[in-house]
Structure 1
Amino acid sequence: MLLGVLLGGVPLLAAAQATDPPAARAADTPMLTVPEVAAMPPLEWPECLVRPDVHPQIQAIEAALTRNDLADAQRRVAAHTLELRDATPQARLDAQLAAAVVMARAGNPQARQRFAAVAEDAAALNGLHAPHLLSARAGEGFMALRQGDALAAEDALRSALHLHRMRYGLHDPGQAVYLQALATLADGAAAEEQVTVLMRRQLALQRRQLLADEAATGVLEALPALIETLRNSTVFAAMAEPIGELREAVHTKLGNDHPAGVPLLIADAHASALHAIASEGLWDPRHLREAYRLMTSLDIDMPVVDRAQYLVDVGNVWWLAGHRATALAVFKVATDLKVPSATERLGRPEALAWPSGTPRALTDAAAEGWLRLGIRINPRGDVMRVTDAAMSPRQDPVGVARARAWQSAVRRAIWRPAVVDGRPATRKDMVIFDRFVPTP
């Protein structure tokens, strides 16, 4: 029997994949891709919740999901939660797992955390043989897969596979659902690694040809297409070092102000920035929006003075965000352009000329309320999730309400207006930072 979570016959992954028909890709847009995770077959309601002694409310929640009556299921979860003050640990785990199922069915991203909490509590209560542990880890893994967190998905699904084999044996057909997902994830990782190796070789070859050929005409003609391919690839952030080496070769051969070096300059700054922010650190949405605007505003036809000013602004953004190494690298490029009016602003974030349409911060001075967000970006540059990081200490109701509105706007800005291959992205697409298009 397949174990996991029944979502009214709809798998967890199916909810993550958009039903919108994808627009036709432009023939002249190069794009590197890795295999997509295939939709999983429907999974069943957790077997540990199908017992004669299970609470009647749990049975009612299962019946509501079977009818696809999500509203009724949510009401019953809320009502059942109020009845758990004096319940046994087993009954509380039943209720928490049922609540996680309903949250997943509703598309609530917090379902992943709820599944993880159930798994932790179940393991603490009964160890590896806890009846709720398998379903909770499976739910956590498929929710991570839905959210695009491949590493967390692989970890949870491997755990679920191990637990399944412990309970049902090494050859039980029910393990196929985990094996399929893990195999697809492995294929994607292998394909991405292969793409990374090939692109590194291509960039190294371009650099050698450029330094060997006096005219280097062919290399220069191929640069725009190569950079566009890199920017549309899932391995863009991993190319920061070879892009920088190729840019240095162009500057050495042709000079800092040669137009051929501008696309590489833009790509170098952008890839380096993606690599620098691939961490769990906090990220102010203002910096995120402004860095994107600045990096995408660099243009091949831009005068040297304007280009230097933009580069200093980019460096100041990274300086303000605490990524000093990236900031210093960008400042070095700006300094090479020898524009005193720009270089005098190096390392002075207060000198940034923020556009009128960019929020200075998630702060409303009149209401005395603010909300700082944390944005996690993985090493490929994918925006993984947006989380609350800090709230206004005074908790003014109006300020908190406005801060929550900003939070909602930032979430929409990350997931809705993204562009992939020149078309609006759907939830099926991995949201790539360098294709991120912020809303006003």
Structure 2
Amino acid sequence: MARIKNFVAHDDKRDNLKKIEKIKKEKRSVRGRVVDDWIIDAPNAHQSKSEIQATIEDLYTKGMRRGRVIEVQKRNVFIAEENEKGMPETENLWLCSVAKRHFQRAHRERNFVVVGDRVLFEPSAELQFDDEGQPVDTDLPRGVVQHSFARTSKISRKDPMRPDWEHVMLANIDLVAIVASVLHPEVRWGLIDRFLVQAEMEKIPVVIILNKVDLLSNEKLASKEFVEIYKRRVEIYRNIGYDVVELCALKPKKNPESVKHLRKLFKGKLVGFAGHSGVGKSSILNLMKPEFEQIVDENPDIFYKGRHTTTYNSLLQLDIGAYAIDTPGIRSFHISNYDPISLSYCFPEFRPFKCKYRECAHDHEPQCGIKQAVSEEKISPERYRSYLGILKGLSFREGEGDSTDATMIADLKAREQKRDEELAKEESLLNQDLKS
């Protein structure tokens, strides 16, 4: 009988332990889920705009400072303190970490702190300040990021490692500079279209910069057919209303008007550079005289092969009274899946045309105004195919875009191989002559 009582008692203890563990687990879950004050100015049901602003002002009085993220390396965040006009003073740098409590919150972003973010950070308690409020006895003062402000704009893609996550590449920018090279590597029109869709969705102005245009005059690399297709593509974007700038970053004196136009366009703005690997983003940025010259291989042969040099995002102050975010090149740019109405709005040339059905996908529906416009050459077939590819989640390798681009690239690869074979043959004959 005693054995039965002991067994029942142990059984009750096991049940109680399970209940206790369940309660602890729920408390941990609640503790990590409820406290989410990362976005300090996010609208909510508990505070009005005036109350939110009062909260922010109170944080200022308690010693917190406002800054702009200029570089992120793992969990270290380099921040430039903002002046009264809201512009980052890149000479006043802080090395900060992010408050640990924010890592407990659920997020679906690759990095929830990115270059360009506006943040509130708390200086380290050990710091001492002068009469002007600047830290003394330290070259790189430390602090902790406590809050972030809501982003006014962003350019993002699906995280290549986790497609259900968002990878924000650029934040709080005033202008997107989509950079592509004509050759080495070949221009990816499909990649350009995807960046344009993101910019249109976020209502960010765009400039398309086409670099290495000097290679168009090389008949061994660019056939007449390639040049004609290239010129047609450029005309398509200009007819839509996009600003397209052609230049050669290594030979800026050949295109002085293009460089002058870019300097005028960038002035007073925070410009985000985006594009394929090795297209010359850093070289173009160097023409704008940044505070730190960007590393570019001086060997033109290496440059024209499209070598990847930039390895992380960085915000730089430019000599022309502007700021720029230089980004590493990407191999692919897979954007979120948009419904037909939202996606078609991101193609400005589609907007004037109406369809019979309000929720027309512009694919197989009868009496479609977009398909009719394509047949009448009022909308280019190339852009229409790009729209369908994005809608259906289709893309060629590295963002070539459609079969036309794939054919062009195959032709270029064949020409490059033929050129390399001719060079190898000439070198072989030269070596034979030297031996003889």
Please indicate the TM-score interval, normalised by the length of the shorter structure: under 0.3
TM-score between the two structures when normalised by the length of structure 1: 0.23
TM-score normalized by the length of structure 2? 0.23
When Rg is computed on C-alpha atoms for both structures, the one with the higher figure is 2
More strand by share: 2
Of Structure 1 and Structure 2, the greater helix share is in: 1
